Structure 1
Amino acid sequence: MNKQPLSHIGQGYDRKEAQEKVTGQAIYVHDMEVPGMLYAKALLSPKAHAKIVSIDTSKAKALKGVKAVVTGEDAPYTVGLYMVDKKVMAREKVRYQGEIVAAVVAESEAIAEEAVTLIDVAYEDLPIVHNLDEALEAKVLVHEELHTYEHMKGVFFPQKGSNIASWNKTKKGDIKKGFEAADYIFEDEFNVPAVAHVPMETHVTIAQADPYSNKVKIWSSAQSPFAVRQLLAKSLGIAKSDVNVVVPYIGGGFGGKAGVHLEPLASVLSKAVKGRPVKLKMTREEEFNILPTRAGMRARFKTGINKDGKIVAMEVYHDWDSGAYADYGVNVGKTAVYSGAGPYEIPNIELHSRTIYTNKVFSTAYRGFGHLETHWAAERHMDIMAQKLGIDPYELRMKNLLRPGSTTISGELVYPTTGDPIACLDAVKKELGWTGRKTEEEKQREFKTGKVRGKGFAMLQKAPAMPSYTSTSAIMQMDEDGHIKIMIGAVDMGQGANTIMAQVAAEELKIPIENVEVVWNVETDKHPYDWNTVASKYTFMGGNAVRKAAKKMIEQMKEVAGQVLRCHPDELTHGDGYIYHVHQTHRKLSYIDLSMGYSYENGNGIGGPLIAHGTYMASGLSNPDPETGQGRPGLVWTFGAHGIDLEVDVETGDITILKIVSAFDIGKVINKKLVDGQVLGGIVQGIGSALIEGYKFDEDARLLNPYFGDNRIPSAKDIPLEMVPIYIEEPETAQVDGPYGARGIGEHPMISVPSAIGNALYEALGINFTKLPLTPENVALAINESTK
């Protein structure tokens, strides 16, 4: 028998697919060629808001090698998960620069690219909604028929005759009385720009639509194959069972590949060429222009607070610039009603979260799902209040942090099992060496040297944003040699889900992890259901499903072994690949002997192939009340804190992050190597949002930086000199029933990284920054302004 550790949980195993990926054996949709495949390219609108007067495709159709040219009139379909508001192709008018107006299918990409340039489109300009203020004025409507759109009723609230796709609210206590009782009232405004997801692999889809039936097969770099199946079937008006979605290896997603994107258009294009497979892939420039971003956002905080630093009332407006469409964006906005004020006890609060249409590229899910944006505002606001009150920002947070007996802004009671934000803050304070604010004299002395240092910290929290019916499942089978194969519906896009599930199965079955394989390609016709690979929920939910499957397989083996060993199954236990008697351990049967059923010497057989399944549903959730936002929308909370030590060059505005400390109440670390990867990668991604990234638009709402040259992401030189992750593990008290006490950690590391940097910048410079990104130019200009 192979030797194995006492427990697989906590071991730092390499990712299961690591060798395939580093040797180039892994196959992505970008690599795939399907027999008879054709290639597609799209024509993009140069206008942000305009009527489509005419489209002349005759020249493109006449080009040799062109098989079909399709416009919006050939694709009268609308898509959406939460708000059904997006056309597969623009019809009648365009709503953002980059929207697809026409598409060509040809024998090669080169021919398709040439053909696209031959399509002539006549536009009639319409007034542009540039920003949130213009949108709220509603002099121009991005969607005149908003009130007719299908949406998830009782959860999202479109406002007729406006540009507000959904207006979600939280009301707790009485803010009027709270403000009257406050000693001080402070108000601040904060902004973040739209940001691109930038997965290494751009969006790509191959579709094959059977010309003689409704059946469609899709190969896609998608995060959520079952969501693609659902939304594609709905948009095309066909049965879910007619859609088969295959997801092989996927080169990153970060939320940008959740929901449905290119799949409906590729299906229409395949239908147009009589069912030949059509491949549609995005260049990096197209990725920036066509596909959704993280929403821009403006937050306004008004807080009533007492002299001792206790918050008594708060009014918040989070306004999300969702761009031209709000399908997924409304759900991002909804998260603010239970998480948009940070992990604090606020007895009286009124919070408004409005998802708003403008004529810019549309928004969707992005790692952190709105929390980086809301926490940028909430945690900067906390620091600014501490400055004005003359209170240490650590002490101000300690006075107001959630603790057992507190209630969240959505009315959820905090138990000892919910998590511990105080422990996270204390761990960060200790490692960061925070002793209080520097004096003005110390700041001035540093300033004269040309380099100033500052420390700061920020809290974070997040629970999965998902419907109450969210569920997942797993199927487990044992081969003749005792090896285990597991099929799940989730997609491993780099987070290590397949490795974690293998660890869970190996732990329950008490076998070497080498004997467990999670089948990689997810195919909706074959694999068990999973709602969506989003929300940092899969270790929690999928881990429980795999545990249940493993326990059922053990029960199956014990049932058969009990008959063979002539004892009750309750008298049996398992380990090292055997089912054996608890007391008479020599009485045993190997898993291999039971894998296909047990055969007696006389030829009789009992049992059969070992196949088990497990399911898990997010029980106990409820939608927030439409008027008050009260309810239980969060399945399991993960709290955390970041601390930053940075240096600023006062001449150039360049920021060097010397050290970042990040603590998370994770419950239990399943695989430290993978958790470290998530945390360190998330931190760097958060630094990108803080210092570098952000969309820029001109007066015609055209995207000015659709290239890495002007819209770059962090590189090696942007990585902090020191990163210290801290994991607080209390599995015996971890909330609900996560596997071995584990909580989600996938999205959390990038939340509040910008806030902590902003707070450290104040400590270094005495300047409060309220807008991202904190580029050298923006920092240098602020320094120059402050010294006038």
Structure 2
Amino acid sequence: MSSVKIEEKVEKVKEEFRWIRKDLPRTDAWEKVTGEAKFTDDLQFGPKLLYAKLKRSPLAHGRILRIDVSRALKLPGVKAVVTGREFPYRLGLYLKDRNLYAVERVRFVGEPVAGVAAISEKIAEEAVELIEVEYEELPPIFDPVYGASPDAPLIHPDLGRYPHADFIHPLPGTNISNHFKVRKGKVEEGFRNSDYIIEGSYQVPHIQHCTLEPHVAVAEVDLRGNITLWTSSQSPYAQRNLLAQSLGIPQSKIRVVTPYLGGGFGSKAGVTIEACLIPLAMKVPGHPVKLRMTREEEFIGTFVRQALRAFVKMGVKKEGRIQALEVKYYWAGGAYTEYGVNIIRAAGYSSSGPYEIPHVKADSYCVYTNHPVGGPYRGFGMSEIHFAIESQMDEAAHRLGMDPVEFRLRNALKEGALTLTGNRMHPTGLSDCIRAVASAINMEEKEKGRDPLKPRGKGIAAMWKAPAMPPDAGSSVFIKFNEDGSVNILTSGMDIGQGFQTVLTQMAAEVLTIPPEKIKVPAPDTDRSPYEWQTVASRLTWSVGNALLRACQDVKDQIFSLLSRAWGVDKEDLYLEDGQVICFTNPALRVELKSVVINGVRMPDGRLEGGPIMGRGMFVPPDVTGVDPETGQGDKPVVHFTTGAQAVEVEVDVETGVVKVLRGAAAFDVGKAINPLLVKRQMEGGLVQGLSSALLEDLKFDPAGRALNPSFTDYKIATSLDAPSHIETVVVEVPEKDGPFGARGIGEHPMVPTAAAIANAVYDALGIRLRKLPLSPENVFKAMREKRG
């Protein structure tokens, strides 16, 4: 190749991106705005459709002495009834402790003990009422600290026999289903070398996900025993695998189809209602069976966010360096912790917050309680522990008489610093994020001329979060061309509102030089779409993005190999531009993709070679290692961290205790923003959702374990009226070395620091440190009364 042609090739590579790093509108916007999008509940199944309802436990803890379903079976229109005795199987993603239906004992109010399939929902509801269940009540546990003590009765006496992942560490003979430890340095020596020791305890309640779309699933078993499941799910492949293992059937006998999804936030990860539905469908082959949660059932019958009691002890030098940190996290995991045990692990390896601390001792316990099942929620434990850590950071700064921003900057992790698990921190824009949000709300300036009955305050909080996933959590992508040169991207990743399909479309358009409007991302179907671990952990842009780039490269390699033989040119001299293959050394040689990808290429001897082009790509996180179970130390226990910060200004009405967030600022290091507008919208939405959990949300229970507010009448979430009038967003970009175009995830992170930032702002306004969420008017007013004596 001549030097001129080499220069032309270099200039091509240097061209500005055309489709990525652009504010393209969401690819699914039209369907969702017009109502054209079909969700699971919209699917039609004809006259054979049956409806399922569940008989639920009225007790938080008890033995099942007798179940009589005879009256329900006699009711006209009832086609099937199932109980746990007929399907005594366990399932679990990380710890197999959960029954499809209760077997021998119930462990929370609302646990399914039987299921009914009937020709109408009304008849199914009547049949459920006819099922008779006799119980022997057992003492319940609602406090995780008590539950972890040797005095507590056992909720799962068989814990020692439950299969589990090798990175989960249950303690048989206790209620502790996982104990994650970190031991870095010598924590007692660190405290001895400290000038100040600050201690605090914090509480975070159970809350619900409150997705707009409730859980819905339809299952059908054909006459050969093949199962098809249409479901509102974040995890089609994980569901298929878990159900197959539990029922003892091959994965190939189960097909999972996931239409549009109306929000997830973790509530639709793993298996929830599907485990109850499949046994009913197996009893009525040829009939689709539909199970749809009522809003009340959503609050008690699906995952809730685990509650937390945190104890934090921090040692600092008078110049502002943190010397030692000791934390104990007691997580109220609920009746089954098959998914929740991994939250404890994630909280363990992030338990110090994003700070360089030489001496750390952390213990994170997942404790069985007799509340609804604790599972993944946006942030995966990070919002909860950051409320404790960032409140403690603020208190330490005030004790030292130091600016809270400066205190954080002095201790913030920087590239090359040792994390608490002993690995080196990768390049990060954490300090830039802290400075950006502090500047955005003028942290150093106090408001002039305030209303004395409505004092104002400003608060800041930083955060970090890594994808919480096993080392083999892979992603894969197929690329299929159509006759007109358009492309279908086949993946089993789900768009749960985060804009995943749009980002994937932009990346494919960039690499294949095809306009985004010629690219589709069909709904996942495990019979047709390739493997994806789960849509969780804010990892899809990074993980599926990498798989997509490899699939695109596979496409290019196939096409360039064919044309290099057909044209007699070097494969390296070919490139794509505007959906055409062009030759650097002979620009007259060019061909449109659509004429190559379906029927192949005519060779000089007249033969047709190639046929349909289909790309494939797979990505599994590289170099991830485990940790020592006694010390939590490892070379690379996580792939990377996304870091960021938020700051808010609040106004507190001292007569009512109402906290109003006036303005907010958010900055996160996303590596590289594939779609900057979507990134900013995630920052705004996450801040408002974090505000909701900080000020309003609390799933309350009576002393018997019954939910007191399982409806939007009594359980409050933030609306547009609660949102700040102004949210400033700052996109910080320190590229991720193994991210697609340098990108890393941002889906969950904007919710993580919000509660702590608001609590710190309330302290700035009132001089009162609130250590229990939510910061409701009642709790704030009580704290003010206590301060006044």
Per-residue deviation, residues 447-481 of structure 1 (Å, max 9, x unmatched): x6311110010001011000111111111122221
Does 2:760 correspond to 1:759? yes
Q: Equivalent residue for 2:19?
A: 8
Question: For residues 709 and 480 of structure 2, what CA distance do their matches in structure 1 show?
Answer: 50
Amino acid in structure 2 at the alignment position of 1:142: I
8 A Cα contact 1:466 1:633, kept in partner: no
Does 2:253 correspond to 1:242? yes
**Aligned with residue 488 of structure 1, among 488, 491, 494:** 491
Q: Equivalent residue for 2:437?
A: 428
Question: For residues 616 and 638 of structure 1, what CA distance do their matches in structure 2 show?
Answer: 19
**Aligned with residue 575 of structure 1, among 574, 577, 586:** 577
TM-score by length of 2: 0.96
SS of 1:757's partner is helix
Shift of 1:362: 1.3
Task: Report matched runs for 1:201-216 at 5 Å.
Answer: 201-213=213-225, 215-216=226-227
Does 2:126 correspond to 1:122? no
Task: Report matched runs for 1:414-493 at 5 Å.
Answer: 414-415=425-426, 417=427, 419-435=428-444, 446=450, 449-493=452-496
User: Gaps spanning 5+ residues in structure 2: where?
Assistant: 1-14
SS of 1:190's partner is strand
Q: Equivalent residue for 1:366?
A: 377
Question: For residues 661 and 727 of structure 1, what CA distance do their matches in structure 2 show?
Answer: 11
Question: For residues 142 and 520 of structure 2, what CA distance do their matches in structure 1 show?
Answer: 51
Q: Equivalent residue for 1:550?
A: 552
**Aligned with residue 146 of structure 1, among 124, 142, 159:** 159
Amino acid in structure 1 at the alignment position of 2:453: G
Percentage identity across paired residues of the two chains: 43
Question: For residues 640 and 425 of structure 2, what CA distance do their matches in structure 1 show?
Answer: 11
Per-residue deviation, residues 27-85 of structure 1 (Å, max 9, x unmatched): 11111232422110001111101111212222211211111121111221111010110
Per-residue deviation, residues 720-752 of structure 1 (Å, max 9, x unmatched): 11111100123xxx2331011111100000001
Shift of 1:603: 5.9
Amino acid in structure 2 at the alignment position of 1:575: E
Does 2:568 correspond to 1:566? yes
Per-residue deviation, residues 747-786 of structure 1 (Å, max 9, x unmatched): 0000010000000000011100000001111112212222
8 A Cα contact 1:380 1:758, kept in partner: yes
Question: For residues 785 and 173 of structure 1, what CA distance do their matches in structure 2 show?
Answer: 39
Does 2:96 correspond to 1:84? yes
8 A Cα contact 1:561 1:589, kept in partner: no
Amino acid in structure 2 at the alignment position of 1:396: F
Does 2:67 correspond to 1:65? no
Q: Equivalent residue for 1:291?
A: 302
Task: Report matched runs for 1:658-737 at 5 Å.
Answer: 658-730=662-734, 734-737=735-738
Which deviates more from structure 2 when the two are superposed, residues 125-134 or residues 449-458?
125-134
SS of 2:721's partner is helix
Question: For residues 295 and 179 of structure 1, what CA distance do their matches in structure 2 show?
Answer: 31
SS of 1:460's partner is strand
8 A Cα contact 1:173 1:349, kept in partner: yes
TM-score by length of 1: 0.96
8 A Cα contact 2:566 2:602, kept in partner: no
8 A Cα contact 2:273 2:302, kept in partner: no
Structure 1 pair 402–437 and aligned structure 2 pair: CA distance change class (3 A): farther
Question: For residues 10 and 212 of structure 1, what CA distance do their matches in structure 2 show?
Answer: 49
Shift of 1:360: 0.7
Does 2:789 correspond to 1:785? no
User: Gaps spanning 5+ residues in structure 1: where?
Assistant: none
8 A Cα contact 1:207 1:266, kept in partner: yes
Shift of 1:487: 0.3
Question: For residues 54 and 414 of structure 1, what CA distance do their matches in structure 2 show?
Answer: 57
Amino acid in structure 2 at the alignment position of 1:202: P
Shift of 1:405: 2.7
Question: For residues 308 and 541 of structure 1, what CA distance do their matches in structure 2 show?
Answer: 41
Per-residue deviation, residues 204-250 of structure 1 (Å, max 9, x unmatched): 1111123543x211111110100001100011011111111111111
Question: For residues 349 and 435 of structure 2, what CA distance do their matches in structure 1 show?
Answer: 24
Amino acid in structure 2 at the alignment position of 1:619: P
Shift of 1:332: 0.3
Q: Equivalent residue for 1:74?
A: 86
Task: Report matched runs for 1:308-323 at 5 Å.
Answer: 308-323=319-334
Amino acid in structure 2 at the alignment position of 1:534: V
Shift of 1:92: 1.1
Per-residue deviation, residues 266-315 of structure 1 (Å, max 9, x unmatched): 11001122342211110010011111101000111111111111111111
Q: Equivalent residue for 1:647?
A: 651
Amino acid in structure 2 at the alignment position of 1:523: D
Task: Report matched runs for 1:248-287 at 5 Å.
Answer: 248-287=259-298
8 A Cα contact 1:553 1:610, kept in partner: yes
8 A Cα contact 1:163 1:357, kept in partner: yes
8 A Cα contact 2:145 2:309, kept in partner: no
8 A Cα contact 2:145 2:330, kept in partner: no
Does 2:50 correspond to 1:38? yes
Q: Equivalent residue for 2:504?
A: 501
Shift of 1:86: 0.8
8 A Cα contact 1:467 1:623, kept in partner: no
Amino acid in structure 2 at the alignment position of 1:140: P
Amino acid in structure 2 at the alignment position of 1:412: N
Amino acid in structure 2 at the alignment position of 1:230: N
Does 2:395 correspond to 1:392? no
Amino acid in structure 2 at the alignment position of 1:128: P
Q: Equivalent residue for 1:163?
A: 175
Question: For residues 483 and 697 of structure 1, what CA distance do their matches in structure 2 show?
Answer: 54
Shift of 1:139: 2.8
Amino acid in structure 1 at the alignment position of 2:551: A
Question: For residues 330 and 602 of structure 1, what CA distance do their matches in structure 2 show?
Answer: 63
8 A Cα contact 1:472 1:545, kept in partner: yes
Q: Equivalent residue for 1:355?
A: 366
Per-residue deviation, residues 671-712 of structure 1 (Å, max 9, x unmatched): 123222222111111011100001111111111111111112
8 A Cα contact 2:565 2:603, kept in partner: no
Question: For residues 283 and 189 of structure 1, what CA distance do their matches in structure 2 show?
Answer: 36
8 A Cα contact 2:101 2:276, kept in partner: yes
Question: For residues 9 and 212 of structure 1, what CA distance do their matches in structure 2 show?
Answer: 47
Q: Equivalent residue for 2:66?
A: 54
Does 2:243 correspond to 1:228? no
Q: Equivalent residue for 1:523?
A: 525
Number of matched residues? 771
Per-residue deviation, residues 478-509 of structure 1 (Å, max 9, x unmatched): 22211111101111111111111111111001
Per-residue deviation, residues 645-676 of structure 1 (Å, max 9, x unmatched): 11111111112211100001111111123222
Does 2:110 correspond to 1:98? yes
Amino acid in structure 2 at the alignment position of 1:694: D
Q: Equivalent residue for 1:113?
A: 125
Which deviates more from structure 2 when the two are superposed, residues 606-615 or residues 375-384?
606-615
Amino acid in structure 1 at the alignment position of 2:165: M
Amino acid in structure 2 at the alignment position of 1:739: P
Shift of 1:317: 0.3
SS of 2:45's partner is coil
Amino acid in structure 1 at the alignment position of 2:429: D
SS of 2:304's partner is coil
Q: Equivalent residue for 2:9?
A: none
Shift of 1:130: 2.1
Shift of 1:90: 0.7
Q: Equivalent residue for 1:180?
A: 192
8 A Cα contact 1:211 1:271, kept in partner: no
| RMSD after superposition | 1.6
Does 2:29 correspond to 1:18? yes
8 A Cα contact 1:648 1:655, kept in partner: yes
Question: For residues 363 and 519 of structure 2, what CA distance do their matches in structure 1 show?
Answer: 48
